[in-house]
Amino acid sequence: MNNQETLLNTLIDTENVLNGYTHEEIGDDHLYTGIDTPMKANAFDMSDEEKKENIAQLFAQIMDVMGLDLNDDSLKGTPKRVAKMYIDEIFSGLNPANKPKVALFENKYRYNQMLVEKDITFYSNCEHHFVPIIGKAHVAYISSGKVIGLSKLNRIVQYYAKRPQVQERLTNQIAVDLQTILNTDDVAVIIDAKHLCVSSRGVKDDTSATVTSFYGGSFNTPHKIAELQNYLKQ
């Protein structure tokens, strides 16, 4: 976690966010408590290998409690597979060691209009139900004199997607990190995603999608928003 994330998180009082409601009363209504992914101070005391061993044991218990036969050939490898998938793949973005290294380059082309990287497909997971969020992210920035490789925009989206997430936080984490990396407020992020916790269970709405946006600096004007929306339509 960088300092900015940690600072922002300390400003948010989780008790107030709950407004006196219990988690049961809030039910499926997704809460968003801050820009920082809520992590324990000792989150990285355990090595990845130790985490995988622990998760495999605990997941085996869940399967056992549900009555599944862990001696069955098809099931016996599942706890280890899930543990490996959690740590190495779908939740690898929790570990700052996995953050993509980003090199900045001089804006030699003197291109001073918005750059839009659109339709970045990502797979994340809802932190309230641990089922997938599948969507597209559109990222835009106006150079302050430095540029980054286009693939890095994609990699930053993937890094933050590979955490248990809520879409609002994912949007803001990508945007604030890009503002820091590119040393400019002029960053926009739009995310359009389907949440399987809404479509495959609960209210079972298969057609709705969720759209979130962040318009920083000069993007936060009707003219720039219209220009960006126009690029996304093409």
Residue 8 to residue 35: CA distance in whole angstroms: 7
Residue 30 is among the residues annotated as catalytic for this protein: no
Residue 179 is among the residues annotated as catalytic for this protein: no
Residue 24 is among the residues annotated as catalytic for this protein: no
Span between the terminal Cα atoms of the chain, in Å: 36
Contact call for residue 133 and Zn ion (CB under 5 A): no
Residue 229 is among the residues annotated as catalytic for this protein: no
Q: Output 167 or 179, the one with its CB closest to Zn ion.
A: 167
Contact call for residue 128 and Zn ion (CB under 5 A): yes
- Choose the stretch contacting Zn ion; rule: CB under 5 A; options: 40-48, 92-100, 137-145, 189-197: 189-197
CB of 198 to Zn ion, least distance (A): 7
Residue 160 to residue 167: CA distance in whole angstroms: 10
CB of 155 to Zn ion, least distance (A): 25
Closest CA to 92 of 186, 155, 139: 155
CB of 158 to Zn ion, least distance (A): 20
Residue 129 is among the residues annotated as catalytic for this protein: yes
Contact call for residue 163 and Zn ion (CB under 5 A): no
Write the CB contacts of 17 (distance below 8 Å, at least 6 apart in sequence).
31, 33
Residue 220 identity (one-letter amino acid): N
Choice among 158, 165, 167, 179 that is catalytic: 167
Residue whose C-beta lies closest to Zn ion: 197
Contact call for residue 194 and Zn ion (CB under 5 A): no
Interface residues for Zn ion in 36-95 (CB under 5 A)?
none
Tell me which of 197, 212, 214, 216 binds Zn ion, using CB under 5 A: 197
Residue 118 to residue 189: CA distance in whole angstroms: 10
Closest CA to 190 of 126, 140, 122: 140
> Total residues contacting Zn ion (rule CB under 5 A)?
4
CB of 210 to Zn ion, least distance (A): 11
Closest CA to 170 of 233, 130, 127: 127
Residue 223 is among the residues annotated as catalytic for this protein: no
Contact call for residue 126 and Zn ion (CB under 5 A): yes
Measured at the CA of 188, the angle between CA 186 and CA 190, to 5 degrees, comes to 180
Number of neighbouring beta carbons within 10 Å of residue 218: 15
Residues with active-site annotation:
126-129, 167, 195, 197
Residues at the contact surface with Zn ion, assessed by CB under 5 A: 126, 128-129, 197
